[in-house]
Amino acid sequence: MAGFEERFPAPDQFRDASDELHALVGLQLGTDDFGPGDYLPGLEMLLQSMDVDPHFTERGRRIAWGDLVNVLGARAHAWRAMKINPGFDRHPVSRPIVITGVPRTGTTALHKLMAVDPQFQGLQTWLTGAPMPRPPRDQWSQHPQFLKVAEQLRARYDAAPDSRAAHLMVAEEVDECCLVLRQSFVSNLWTCGWSAHSYDAWWQQQSERPAYRHLARVLQLIGSAEPDKRWLLKNPGHIANLDLVFETFPDALVIQTHRDSAKALPSLCALLMQRFPLMEEGSRPKRARAMLTRETEKWADAVHKAEAVRHQHPGRIFDVVHADFHRDPMGIIRRIYSFAGLELTPEVDADMVRRAEERPELAHGVHRYDLADFGMGEEAIRAPFGDYIDRFGLAPGKSAAA
């Protein structure tokens, strides 16, 4: 990370740096093909936002610039790999299982538990940063791109050690679709790393359809050696775009997780705030309160959008309440497999039981936060969700509405 920062310092003004960014990525990868230009308006808007919205620390500027280089580089890597692998898109992505839900509702734990089953293929973290046909697993540890992503993750957790307990990313494990979707630069993920109010206002008015088209092609590329192997995908942001999920993958099955928003959203904001001292100067309490207000509005809107779509696709969405999964993970797994018509072999069942008992997500401690840091009470966080909380019995002492 330090070597990159020294060789390619952040520009004085981001808004004028699009050509520099493209040239830098082209120099690194030896390609000037970034695919269709539909990503350019989002990139330009993001660059302009970076000059006015955040109060970057000097290191924060370098990290943000590095993020742009890496994401645009991943897009270029994908399109180069598509060119040199003709026929990668011969087979459509068929019958994917898509896990989604408001962040911090158990999507990651469920995703990684189901990923134990070898009948699925997934988006490994390192391949989201360098999309290509997935090499044999025994070659990963020697691959330059795998080593690069592993080093980037090590540097990230060295800079913010507490984030390991909140959300641990591992180069060889499955990760979120948003890491591919953001390569189109129309993504809620760009509002998470640093203050991006003007970009956020612009993003709310955009369609992510081009991003989903890019995602589908990247999945075809990565899975081209095993085109018939079923995809297991996960991304909280899909609940805001379930219409695009079903448009892009017409035979998808969706698993939606649910948890009390007064627990999930402060946990999300506490996770996002862990990088604030590294990235930005200014008032931490002010940033925290603004963030929880915005995230509450954003995810309440996403839930309402998902509800409208689910009525158009009866029988295609399976609901998992966080408390039920926490209490009986294998009971939920067996119900999911029944819903999806999947076989759960005794061997896979035993492997899943072992992982559920080991709870590796707790290996780095427990993610803790204080609601008082965010300036909103529990009822204010629940209110924008309307009857959703009662319908699934998510508030303490409540049972699901009949």
At 50-82, the pLDDT tens digits run 999 999 999 999 999 999 999 999 999 999 999
Q: What is the pLDDT of residue 401?
A: 63
Instruction: Decide: 78 and 44 in contact? Cβ < 8 Å.
Output: no
Q: Which residue has the tokens 């995908």?
A: 233
Q: Is the pLDDT of residue 1 over 60?
A: no
In a domain, 25, yes or no: no
Q: What does the pLDDT look like over 269-305, one tens digit per residue?
A: 999 998 899 999 988 889 999 999 999 999 999 999 9
Q: Burial of 188 by CB count in 10 Å (0-12 exposed, 13-18 middle, 19+ buried)?
A: buried
Start-to-end CA span in the chain (Å): 53
In a domain, 13, yes or no: no
Number of domains, the chain: 1
Q: Where are the beta strands (DSSP E) in 188-338?
A: 230-234, 253-258, 317-321
Q: State how far the Cα of 117 lies from the Cα of 122, in Å rounded to an integer.
A: 11
Tally of residues, the chain: 402
Q: State how far the Cα of 315 lies from the Cα of 86, in Å rounded to an integer.
A: 37
Q: What is the pLDDT of residue 362?
A: 61
Q: What is the pLDDT of residue 8?
A: 72
Mean pLDDT, range 112-129, rounded to an integer:
96
In a domain, 162, yes or no: yes
Q: Which residue has the tokens 């999911």?
A: 336
**Helices 346-358 and 329-340, axial angle in degrees (round to 10):** 140
In a domain, 6, yes or no: no
Which residues neighbour 160 within 8 Å (Cβ) at sequence distance 6 or greater?
Answer: 274, 275, 278
* Banded pLDDT at 369 (limits 50, 70, 90): confident
Instruction: Decide: 50 and 197 in contact? Cβ < 8 Å.
Output: no
Q: Where are the beta strands (DSSP E) in 71-224?
A: 97-101, 120-121
Q: What is the pLDDT of residue 148?
A: 85
In a domain, 35, yes or no: no
Angle at CA 338, nearest 5°, toward 245 and 401? 75
In a domain, 294, yes or no: yes
In a domain, 203, yes or no: yes
Four-point Cα dihedral 96, 258, 175, 24, nearest 10: 110
Residue 232 pairs in a beta bridge with 97
* Banded pLDDT at 210 (limits 50, 70, 90): very high
Q: Is the pLDDT of residue 2 over 50?
A: no
Instruction: Decide: 269 and 293 in contact? Cβ < 8 Å.
Output: no
In a domain, 38, yes or no: no
Structural domain that includes position 101: 91-391
Share of the chain above pLDDT 90, in %: 80
The CATH number covering residue 118 comes to 3.40.50.300
Q: State how far the Cα of 77 lies from the Cα of 28, in Å rounded to an integer.
A: 10
Q: State how far the Cα of 363 lies from the Cα of 386, in Å rounded to an integer.
A: 36
